[in-house]
């Protein structure tokens, strides 16, 4: 019963009015031709694909799932045809290197498209983003020979890509991997080992699958510094980039039976002397793979936000139509037996919470994507360096906070429907199941929080945070002459002060007790995420006030945005004080119990 509608008006408002994207594109030579009209045309076409092609096969894909038969994986009905249409439309190479057949579009544009695709059909979207990430890594780190041989077909969508990191005994700690790569006389390598949880490791959507595999050379040093990256094709490719027809020694051993994303093949991949090719330098594979990881983690946040928006659409439609009980101040529909449930304050609490998080999450994702674009395309080195600093800080927060809030949004939306939310036909129980994985893969959210608190904050002694807080200051200063913003700005100033104070305390406490880093990490990630959502809402509200003055927008639409922002500030932002208190509680009560005391009675 899900009837997803791409939120094009909201997306266009963010790009044009909040982030002034066209002005930024014009300042970067490689994106100077990306005009507002071009962007609008692209996202409108992508919206049609999401609405009309992907959403209709979402629930059926979940019901059927992928089928495994002796190493062969078959996707559900409609997926192969949808992928063919996606590839023929040129979407596979949207952000790709123009030298090899890509279109060179900015990441902020593909971020909007990814959100739509995840909202409409998360399983399908996963096949697409893995290829995008693999081509990105190859374009940055592969030899010219490998680029010429593989990128054109991956950009055109006839071949697809994966990344193969995790092993049965090595998840977060990749330094423990056992997959081996033996050098061969012809310059290739023979890879042997097993990888698990490999999204799109085997399927029937493309003619070839190109695996990017982490493995260790025979003389590699121990730990993460001994990992190299290899390209391993499913079907071997000749020097001209054509399929030889010879199957490589890589095979899918099984697929996982999962809670959600059932139409996305999650594979066990066995490499048994598979021929591979080194990507980048020896023993630098983990660093090279992390080129892809920032983009993939951004995508996971977009998955959370997309499913949140899909869920909100179902819940808000239902709440305006379902009649139960009477409004607190008397009947709204006197000619009916009851009023629509949207009159009830608690239903509004749930809907407004979801709506406020969806808008802020989308804005934060675009803000992070714009930093990736600046870091890649901007002609000014200082601007690129600043953007890279912001990316380092923003990505772990965007991934973790948007996926946490996304899952919460799916559950709240399900609650709005009551018993109907628990029934499969409405689509919300699938959204809950599909959203849950986004908090886990591409680095579980606890790991993102630890990275943020430890490596990005304590180790840098707050240097990266200072760059972000400079953005807060710059915005506050720019709004000083805007009388209508003065009632909102103190909330952002409070966020800045709270972050400065608590960050300094954690850095000081960690100097004498390293356990303070992990003890503070999750609450700190939540505090920074909540503060960033406040920053995003302030920017949205300022843009609303400016748009009101200039005209051109429906007043009802703008008023709805402003009221949602006011709800966020008054009813959601106060959680910051509780998070601050949690961080201040420190490591003592977390670490007091012995391991044995965790046994159940």
Q: Tell me the domain boundaries of the chain.
A: 444-590
- Select from 41, 14, 5 the least CA-distant residue to 108: 14
Helix (H) or strand (E) holding 398: helix 381-416
**With 90 as the cut, is the pLDDT of residue 252 above it?**
yes
- Select from 577, 467, 464, 562 the least CA-distant residue to 531: 577
The answer to whether the pTM exceeds 0.95 is yes
Q: Which of 82-91, 369-378, 515-524, 592-601 has the lowest mean pLDDT?
A: 592-601
* Count helices and strands in the chain by DSSP H and E runs: 19, 11
Helix intervals (H) in 241-344: 285-321
User: How far are the Cα atoms of 24, 88, 117, 267, 357 from residue 204, in angstroms, in the given order?
Assistant: 40, 16, 20, 13, 36
What is the distance between the alpha carbons of residues 95 and 210, in angstroms, rounded to a whole number? Answer: 18
**Rg of the chain (C-alpha set):** 24
* Non-local CB neighbours of 581 within 8 Å, separated by 6+ positions: none
**With 60 as the cut, is the pLDDT of residue 140 above it?**
yes
Average pLDDT over every residue of 356-374: 98
Q: Is the dihedral of CA 121, 122, 127, 131 positive or negative?
A: positive
Strand, helix or coil for residue 212: strand
Tokens of 550: 């200039």
- Running DSSP on this structure, what letter comes out for residue 52? I
In this predicted model, which residue has the larger pLDDT, 415 or 290? 415
Average pLDDT over every residue of 204-212: 98
Largest CA distance in the chain: 85
| Residue 533, CA atoms < 13 Å, CB-side half-sphere | 33
Rounded percentage of the chain residues whose pLDDT exceeds 70: 100
Tell me, yes or no, if 22 is annotated catalytic: no
Strands 159-164 and 208-215: parallel
Q: Is the dihedral of CA 448, 451, 456, 458 positive or negative?
A: positive
What confidence tens digit (pLDDT) does each residue in 4-47 have? Answer: 999 999 999 999 999 999 999 999 999 999 999 999 999 999 99
CB atoms under 10 Å from CB of 327, counted, come to 16
Give residue 65's region: left, alpha or beta (phi > 0; psi -120 to 50). Answer: left
Q: Which of 442, 471, 487, 566 is catalytic?
A: 442
**With 60 as the cut, is the pLDDT of residue 461 above it?**
yes
CB atoms under 10 Å from CB of 281, counted, come to 12
Tokens of 95: 């952000």
What is the per-residue pLDDT for 2?
Answer: 61
CB atoms under 10 Å from CB of 586, counted, come to 17
């Amino acid at each position: 019963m899900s009837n997803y509608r791409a939120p094009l008006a909201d997306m266009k408002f963010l790009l044009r009015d909040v982030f002034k994207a066209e002005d930024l594109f014009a300042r970067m030579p490689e994106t100077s031709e990306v005009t507002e009209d071009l962007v609008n045309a692209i996202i409108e076409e992508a919206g049609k694909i999401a609405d009309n092609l992907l959403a209709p096969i979402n629930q059926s894909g979940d019901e059927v799932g992928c089928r495994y038969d002796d190493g062969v994986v078959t996707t559900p009905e409609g997926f192969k045809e949808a992928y063919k249409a996606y590839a023929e439309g040129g979407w596979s190479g949207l952000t790709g290197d123009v030298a090899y057949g890509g279109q060179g579009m900015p990441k902020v544009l593909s971020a909007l498209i990814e959100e739509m695709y995840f909202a409409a059909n998360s399983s399908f979207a996963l096949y697409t983003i893995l290829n995008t990430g693999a081509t990105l890594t190859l374009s940055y780190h592969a030899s010219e020979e490998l680029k010429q041989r593989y990128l054109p077909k991956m950009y055109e969508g006839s071949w697809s890509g994966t990344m193969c990191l995790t092993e049965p005994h090595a998840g977060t700690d990749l330094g423990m991997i056992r997959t081996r790569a033996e050098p061969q006389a012809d310059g290739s390598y023979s890879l042997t080992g097993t990888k698990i949880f490999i999204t799109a490791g085997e399927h029937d959507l493309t003619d070839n699958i190109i695996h990017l595999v982490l493995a260790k050379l025979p003389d590699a040093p121990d730990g993460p510094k001994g990992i190299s990256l290899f390209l391993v094709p499913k079907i071997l490719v000749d020097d001209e980039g054509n399929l030889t027809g010879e199957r490589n020694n890589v095979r899918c051993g099984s697929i996982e039976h999962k809670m959600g994303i059932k139409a996305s093949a999650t594979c066990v991949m066995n490499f048994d002397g598979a021929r591979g090719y080194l990507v980048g330098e020896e023993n630098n594979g983990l660093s090279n793979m992390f080129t892809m990881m920032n983009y993939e983690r951004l995508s996971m946040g977009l998955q959370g936000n997309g499913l949140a928006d899909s869920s909100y659409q179902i819940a808000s439609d239902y709440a305006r139509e379902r009649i139960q009980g009477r409004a607190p101040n008397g009947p709204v529909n006197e000619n009916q037996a009851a009023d629509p449930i949207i009159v009830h304050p608690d239903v509004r609490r749930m809907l407004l919470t979801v709506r406020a998080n969806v808008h802020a999450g989308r804005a934060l994702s675009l803000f992070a994507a714009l930093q990736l674009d600046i870091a890649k395309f901007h002609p000014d080195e200082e601007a690129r360096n600043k953007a890279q600093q912001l990316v380092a800080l923003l990505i772990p927060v965007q991934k973790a906070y948007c996926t946490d809030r996304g899952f919460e949004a799916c559950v709240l939306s399900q609650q709005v429907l009551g018993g109907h939310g628990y029934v499969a036909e409405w689509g919300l129980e699938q959204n809950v199941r599909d959203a849950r994985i986004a908090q886990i893969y591409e680095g579980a959210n606890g790991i993102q929080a630890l990275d943020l608190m430890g490596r990005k904050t304590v180790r840098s002694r707050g240097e990266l945070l200072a760059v972000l807080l400079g953005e807060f200051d710059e915005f506050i200063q720019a709004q000083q002459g805007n009388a209508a913003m003065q009632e909102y700005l103190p909330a952002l100033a409070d966020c800045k002060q709270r972050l400065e104070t608590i960050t300094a305390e954690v850095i000081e406490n960690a100097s004498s007790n390293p356990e303070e880093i992990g003890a503070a990490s999750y609450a700190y990630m939540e505090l920074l995420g909540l503060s960033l959502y406040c920053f995003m809402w302030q920017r949205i509200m300022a843009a609303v006030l400016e748009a009101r003055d200039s005209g051109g927008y429906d007043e009802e639409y703008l008023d709805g945005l402003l009221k949602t922002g006011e709800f966020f500030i008054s009813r959601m932002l106060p959680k910051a004080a509780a998070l601050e208190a949690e961080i201040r509680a420190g490591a003592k009560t977390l670490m007091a119990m012995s391991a044995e005391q965790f046994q159940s009675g």
